Amino acid sequence: MPLPKIEHPIHTIRVPSQNKKYKFRPFLVKEEKLLLMAKESKNAYDILIAIKQIVNNCSLDDKFNIDKLALFDLEYVFLKLRAVSVDNLVNVTYRDKEDNKLYSFEVNLDEIEVKVPRKVDNVVKLSEDSGITLRYPPATLYDDEEFLKLEEDHLFEMISRCVDEIYSGDEVYESSNMTINEIGDFLETLDLKAFEKIKKFLLETPTIKKELEYTNEKGRKKKIVLRSLNDFFTWR
């Protein structure tokens, strides 16, 4: 006799950059095992790969394409899935550098939203008829082992991965048809003003964000800003 199939609740989560809602199921034991195995490896790359795989596993929507997400989309969706799968409350600890004391905070993941800065143009013109179209840092960075193992030039290499198209007149060159090295070589030929505009776009990328305030034992008011998954909880 076959074992019964377990029905799981369906949750709708909005992908911020697309402003579209997709259906997901909660984490199951197999997803929890993925995270535990990744954590035990003590390898940041393994943890990031597990996060991406878990979000993809939990998707119930045929139109959901994880490789089309921005990085902040992936982190946001993971936090929302964690809230409905495990607990919406997480404990965050922080050691104050002034008094060397540990401070604990309870963060409600249901309250986390993506902080979107003012509108920044994603097209950087190089001349009257040429320019670069940029995209936000993609979720594919989570399985880009070459990038994750970089020890220097992180910003330049990030920019290389955020180029969507290069156009000149009627010619359009899509990044999907170029190697990272080819894009990097092209970026090195830009003037400094154009490169600064590209950096500005990248530095103003939307992020998940939560501000925590406290007063330390010396009576000083402090603020902590949580901006990434590592800031929100220890993997478990």
Q: Are residues 60 and 130 in the same domain?
A: no
Within 134-191, residue ranges assigned H as helices are 145-148, 154-162, 180-187
Please calculate the CA angle 123-70-59 and round it to the nearest 5 degrees.
145
Q: For 165-178, how does the pLDDT look when each residue is reduced to its tens digit (9 = 90+)?
A: 999 999 999 999 99
Q: Are residues 195 and 224 in the same domain?
A: no
Rounded to whole angstroms, the maximal C-alpha distance in the chain is: 71
Q: Are residues 165 and 228 in the same domain?
A: no
pLDDT tier for residue 233 given thresholds of 50, 70 and 90:
low
Q: Is the confidence at residue 236, as pLDDT, over 50?
A: no
Q: Are residues 109 and 15 in the same domain?
A: yes
Q: How many CB atoms lie within 10 A of CB 56?
A: 14
Tell me which residue range forms the domain holding 168: 123-203
Q: For 23-38, how does the pLDDT look when each residue is reduced to its tens digit (9 = 90+)?
A: 999 999 898 888 888 8
Q: Are residues 198 and 133 in the same domain?
A: yes
| Residue 2 forms part of a structural domain | no
Q: Are residues 199 and 211 in the same domain?
A: no
d(CA 163, CA 228) in angstroms, rounded, equals 22
> Distance between alpha carbon 129 and the CA centroid of its chain, in Å?
33
Q: Are residues 33 and 103 in the same domain?
A: yes
Total-model pTM: 0.86
Q: Are residues 70 and 89 in the same domain?
A: yes
Q: Are residues 163 and 83 in the same domain?
A: no
> What total of structural domains would you count in the chain?
2
Q: Is the confidence at residue 60, as pLDDT, over 80?
A: yes
Q: What is the pLDDT of residue 164?
A: 95
Q: Is the confidence at residue 235, as pLDDT, over 60?
A: no
Cβ-proximal residues to 97 (8 Å cutoff; 6+ apart), any chain: none
Q: For 186-206, how does the pLDDT look when each residue is reduced to its tens digit (9 = 90+)?
A: 999 999 999 999 998 988 889
Tokens 């604990």 belong to residue = 104
